[in-house]
Amino acid sequence: MLGDYLPVLILGGLAFAFVVASLFASSLLRPSRPSPAKLAPYECGNEPVRLPKGEKFSVKFYVVAMMFIIFDIETIFLFPWAVSFRKLGLFGLVEMAVFIALVFVAYVYIWMQGGLEWEQAPRPMERTAAEGEQEEELLRAG
């Protein structure tokens, strides 16, 4: 059983050896003449003035990551279910239907709450006049 993973192990070992060997070889072969300008971190040719501070990482990304993790777990349970699907019969199908339905409830709730909106969607009434004119022109042309 573990023998099946031997090629993977050999590949991993070879990749690791390649990285170590090439880094070591290049450290032997390359000339090393550091200067302050070369060692400075590269930022489009300018010296870095300050660390980015004000821009906060948006919490929306966290919500997306959370959705991903929940549905990842759902997939994990789908996999053994699918492998032994024929032996489980109707009972297994009902079990999985209940499972998916429950997780889907959470999905629908978040959708209804606007948790999936990236920005506040503009309401139709608030469209700018320019947009309205463009649309009318398109309608006339079409």
Partner 1 sequence: MTGQEYAFVVLALVGTVGAVRLVTAKNVVHAALYLVVTLAMVGSIYLVLGAEFVGWVQILIYVGAIVILFLFGLMLTKAPIGRESLDNQQRGLALLVALAVLAGLVFLIQDAFHWGDRKMNLVHNTTGEVGRSIFQHYVLPFEAVSFILLAALIGAVVLARREERE
Partner 2 sequence: MIRLPLVLFFSAVLFSTGVYGVLARRNGVLVLMSIELMLNAVNVNLVAFSQYVRDIGGQVFALFVIAVAAAEVGIGLAIVILIFRNRESINVDEVSLLKW
Contact residue for partner 2 among 11, 20, 25, 66 (CB under 8 A): 66
CB of 26 to partner 2, least distance (A): 35
When binding is defined by CB under 8 A, the residue of 10, 20, 73, 106 that contacts partner 2 is 73
Residue 31-60 contact track with partner 2, rule CB under 8 A, x = bound? ----------------------------x-
| Alpha carbons 93 and 12: distance in angstroms, whole number | 39
What percent helix, strand, coil does the chain show, rounded to 5? 70, 0, 30
The binding site for partner 1 (CB under 8 A) comprises 1-2, 5, 56-57, 59-63, 65-70, 72-74, 76-77, 79-84, 87-88, 91-92, 95-96, 98-100, 102-103, 105-107, 109-110, 113-115
**What span, in angstroms and rounded, lies between the C-alpha atoms of 48 and 39?**
13
Query: By C-beta, is 25 or 65 nearer to partner 1?
Result: 65
Give the Cα separation of 109 and 66 in Å (integer). Answer: 14
Q: Please state, in angstroms and as integers, the Cα–Cα distance from residue 94 to each residue in 78, 82, 97, 102, 113, following that order.
A: 13, 13, 5, 12, 28
Pick the binder of partner 2 from 11, 69, 102, 106 (CB under 8 A).
69
